[in-house]
Structure 1
Amino acid sequence: MSGAAPLNDYDDAAVGRITGYVEQLTGGRVVGLERLIRWRPSWFADVEVDGVVRRLHLRGDRGGDVSIFPDLKREADVIDLLHRQGLPVPEIHGYLADPPCIVMEAIAGTRDFSALDDATKSAVGRDYMHAVAAMHRLPIEPFVAAGLHQPDGAEAIALAGLDAYMPHYRRTKSRPEPLLAFVIGWLRRNVPDHRTQASFIQFDSGQYLVDQDAMTKLYDFEFSMIGDPLVDIATMGMRNSFEPLGAPLAELIGYYEEATGEPVDHDAILFHVLQFSLLGTMQFTGTVGAPKAGDPHSVYLMFDLALRRSILLALSALSGVALPDLPPLVERQGDNAPLMAKIADTLAGLAVADEGAQMQKMQVAELVGWAQRADAHGADMVAHNVADVAALLGRPFQDWNAAATALEAHVSAAGPDQDAALITLLGTIEGRRLQLFGPTALGVAASNVVLPVTRKA
């Protein structure tokens, strides 16, 4: 591999150290290495030991500056604890510090459940939710001993995610964020104080595989922590909107209630939908506002737009304040439309040598599409947003940065009596952003976001 490596990539020497470690660990020989095409460096490794080939999964470090728990060994230790307590997770075989890499069992299966009939999806969903309930029943002491923070009291349990993400957000924040400032304050004022039981939670849940019509194992515990177990129901419901979990969410919740013997609290789930959407936005806003070299920029733009839409939907449902109806966007071409078309045409004719390069080419095309919409409508959107903030605060602003900075300060100091007006204004600002970028390839996910649950009457 030549040239400068992206922040989340490993060069040939690093890959060589990994394969050498795998061979030392197993006493075998790596006979196949398949790089997985995603933003985290990871591989399937085929290892021959005494004439028998077995497959391992190698999980590298995400890189960049978006990790809340940047120590990859933390995840390895968590998965190992879960495996030792009988949870269906991959077995950890070893951990390499340089470069960071977890060597683990490769899980059989797929995320594509489309070939399963409804009865099989139901059976798989029941097994999955019973595994989640079993995970939530585990004693938390071994995880605390491994270094996970133990929240104390209803507020700390409810806001375990927010407390974990705040240091990263403060350090990486690159622009004013009035929406995030408002939601942080709203969450702190509206904690479900009856939720006092903490559990080990996957946090970014809904990740498991199916093979031969049966669930195999859960995977990806990068963000796991101790907190309200309903966080996992909230986050799997959000994942279900773009990565279906097989059985309908309502059915999955029924299986969880069956396994726990208790009804779920739908308002608490919505609270955690709002919080998780906030945290994801907090995680990526630094690099979205001030891009870092090597980051998957199109992926983070997609996340940012979709998560903001989820924030608005959950906030509206919890507060009872309806989101504003915006007039349709009047379509126009941007002043730089001919140049944008030339860039898109040149990119389309660019030959690529492998799957990784094809993915990068696709990401550039997605960014070009985003830029075309910004060129056509961005100035008009900003002008309307600045005018709305000026009307609320009673003074003019020269640009969006000044208006957003003032609005962030205002919402941070505002009391609950201003919630309705601020939700309406913030819903208008973010709604315009969705109007602008929703028609792009990166905006499809945001346009399809729905609430995973609704409030119980």
Structure 2
Amino acid sequence: METREEAAFAWVEQVLGGRILSRRLQSRWRNQWFLEVERDGAIERVVLRGFRNPGYTAEDTSGARAMLTLEAQALEALQDVPVATPRYLGSNPDLGWMLMEWLDGDSELTQIADEDRRFAIYQGYVEELATLHAYPLDKIRLPDAMPRPASSRAFREELIARHEGFYRSLALPDAEPVLELGLQWVKHNDISSERPLGLGLGDVGPNQFLFVEDRFHALVDFEYAVIGDPLMEMGMMRGRDVTYHTGRMTEHMRHYGACYERLTGIPLDLKALQYWTIAGPALWNVYTVMGTQRADPAMIDLAFLFAYEVQQKRCILEGIAEYYGFRLTRPELPKPTNTLLSPLAQALAAQLDGHFREQAGEDPYAASFARYSASIARTLALGDGTALMLETANREELGALLGHRIGDWRHGLRELEALIAADWEKDLERRINMLYRCEVRREYLYEPMQRATGVSHGWPMSRFDV
């Protein structure tokens, strides 16, 4: 019986009229192949991109397939825009694949040690984004399936209603006071300025583009392409810089604003950018907490979800603090210590990272799964000697905020969540600081998962008021 991949390879050869000479599977969760195809005596390099792990969208694959189809249509539409992208070569919704040019370049900007080199490359990237955002939608053959709001205000209102509605429908077992605060803040604050709607990529920032040597080369990753307020993804970029830290982000924001103004005549609205800096993680994190609260052991990216989610909650809090000029106080963190259980947790990590990775052989998916699982074991090892001290500090601070001693931590968080829902502005600075310190302590525990999944650790969001 023909496998899904074999059917896809046959489709590629049919589309290109050639023969596949070599193929390499991308490591990690995405089913993506790098292919070399011989056609008319020449070698053509292409990328065969599959749909995302269906655990991100639904139990079946229909939602993931629909996302891939829209991603393919977005790349096809981008062929009309004067920005650098791979050539679109086709898609097959029935099989669940899209085909595009395989461009030269590297995406791992955060691996460059030279700060000035990173900065120069990134300047070219934000210039390209400004060009994309400023390009008139009427000149682009947009896919019919891509929603086109009436205005940037309508886009914002629809986005808030959709994401909050989804979040309220989850009925999560544990309280989420940070998300509740973020959602309440987004609903009760507004943006006074309007910008023309633009075509955006939805997920921009460090490691989301290709560069060659010391220059930007091409935009990649189009699965969250959206027609909306351009400042949404620029605000969210500031949070991505926490997760994949490259530095000097406020300078990049100002450079983007200058480029966009030169193209459109519209200056950068700093308050609108700060609004989206908060709204981005507050709205999009509603999908992440579903994965962390209902942790599916079959999901390869579970360690990444925990590593990412804690940082994005911190970005909500740091963003609100910046908006009002609050100063945040970092907590003291303990030094790791060993307990009676520490050797067992460390042995489990070593087994997963050694024996089971060896068993994976040349399967990059299985090898990555073993490495990520080992990072969860290392997190448990770290927490075994430090979690009690961190939890004690959290309980004391939450009790002081609520005005009474905390017995059950989960009940205390549920009480705080209800207070925030009833009056989000009350004791705002105290609440922000307390929740911020709790997230910093949690991120301390999650460092092994962050290191294993390539996530930066401990970087604050760059602020305009510092």
TM-score by length of 2: 0.83
Distance of 2:332 and 2:292 partners within structure 1: 27
Aligned residue number for residue 185 of structure 1: 184
* 1:84 counterpart SS class: coil
Q: Which moved more, 1:169-178 or 1:51-60?
A: 169-178
* 1:281 counterpart SS class: helix
Q: Write the letter of the residue equivalent to 2:4.
A: A
Distance of 1:341 and 1:255 partners within structure 2: 46
Shift of 1:119: 8.8
Distance of 1:413 and 1:246 partners within structure 2: 37
Unaligned runs of 5+ in 2: none
Distance of 1:14 and 1:157 partners within structure 2: 37
Aligned residue number for residue 319 of structure 1: 324
Aligned residue number for residue 250 of structure 1: 251
Write the mapping of 1:30-41 to structure 2, written as runs, cut at 5 A: 30-41=20-31
Aligned residue number for residue 131 of structure 1: 128
Q: Provide, for residues 386-434 of structure 1, a one-character-per-residue CA deviation record: whole Å limited to 9, x for no partner.
A: 4544554456665333222232222111142332232233223323323
Distance of 1:305 and 1:60 partners within structure 2: 28
Q: Provide, for residues 27-76 of structure 1, a one-character-per-residue CA deviation record: whole Å limited to 9, x for no partner.
A: 22222111011221111111122222201111111123334974210111
Judge conservation of contact 2:22–2:37 (CA < 8 Å) in 1.
yes
Q: Write the letter of the residue equivalent to 1:218.
A: L
Q: Which moved more, 1:154-163 or 1:221-230?
A: 154-163
Q: Provide, for residues 219-238 of structure 1, a one-character-per-residue CA deviation record: whole Å limited to 9, x for no partner.
A: 11211222221223333344
* 2:85 counterpart SS class: coil
Q: Which of 140, 157, 160 in structure 1 is aligned with 2:137? A: 140
Give the percent of matched residue pairs that are identical in Structure 1 and Structure 2.
22
Q: Write the letter of the residue equivalent to 1:265.
A: D
Q: Provide, for residues 296-340 of structure 1, a one-character-per-residue CA deviation record: whole Å limited to 9, x for no partner.
A: 111111111222222222121113333244344365434522321
Q: Provide, for residues 244-294 of structure 1, a one-character-per-residue CA deviation record: whole Å limited to 9, x for no partner.
A: 669976156325513532442333222222222334432211111111223
Shift of 1:377: 3.1
Shift of 1:87: 3.1
Aligned residue number for residue 401 of structure 1: 410
Aligned residue number for residue 149 of structure 1: 147
Q: Cα RMSD between the aligned structures?
A: 3.4
CA 1:200–1:427: 2 relative to 1, 3 Å? same
CA 1:204–1:413: 2 relative to 1, 3 Å? same
Aligned residue number for residue 374 of structure 1: 383
Question: 2:105 matched to 1:109?
Answer: yes
Distance of 1:391 and 1:51 partners within structure 2: 74
CA 1:375–1:152: 2 relative to 1, 3 Å? farther
Aligned residue number for residue 460 of structure 2: 450
Q: Which moved more, 1:157-166 or 1:404-413?
A: 157-166
Aligned residue number for residue 51 of structure 1: 41
* 1:132 counterpart SS class: helix
Q: Which of 429, 433, 452 in structure 2 is aligned with 1:420? A: 429
Distance of 1:121 and 1:271 partners within structure 2: 27
Question: 2:274 matched to 1:273?
Answer: no
Aligned residue number for residue 4 of structure 1: none
Judge conservation of contact 1:434–1:446 (CA < 8 Å) in 2.
no
Distance of 2:119 and 2:432 partners within structure 1: 38
Judge conservation of contact 1:267–1:455 (CA < 8 Å) in 2.
no
Distance of 1:259 and 1:279 partners within structure 2: 25
Q: Write the letter of the residue equivalent to 1:229.
A: P
Judge conservation of contact 1:233–1:253 (CA < 8 Å) in 2.
no
Aligned residue number for residue 430 of structure 1: 439
Distance of 1:426 and 1:224 partners within structure 2: 32
CA 1:173–1:369: 2 relative to 1, 3 Å? farther
Judge conservation of contact 2:443–2:458 (CA < 8 Å) in 1.
no
Aligned residue number for residue 314 of structure 2: 309
Aligned residue number for residue 334 of structure 2: 329
Report the count of equivalent residues.
Answer: 446
Aligned residue number for residue 6 of structure 1: none
Distance of 1:35 and 1:155 partners within structure 2: 42
Aligned residue number for residue 228 of structure 1: 229
Q: Write the letter of the residue equivalent to 1:59.
A: R
Shift of 1:442: 4.1
* 2:272 counterpart SS class: helix
Distance of 1:119 and 1:27 partners within structure 2: 44
Unaligned runs of 5+ in 1: 1-10
Aligned residue number for residue 195 of structure 1: 194
Distance of 1:176 and 1:237 partners within structure 2: 26
Judge conservation of contact 1:158–1:192 (CA < 8 Å) in 2.
no
Judge conservation of contact 2:304–2:449 (CA < 8 Å) in 1.
no
Shift of 1:364: 2.0
TM-score by length of 1: 0.84
Q: Which moved more, 1:214-223 or 1:64-73?
A: 64-73
Distance of 1:303 and 1:108 partners within structure 2: 28
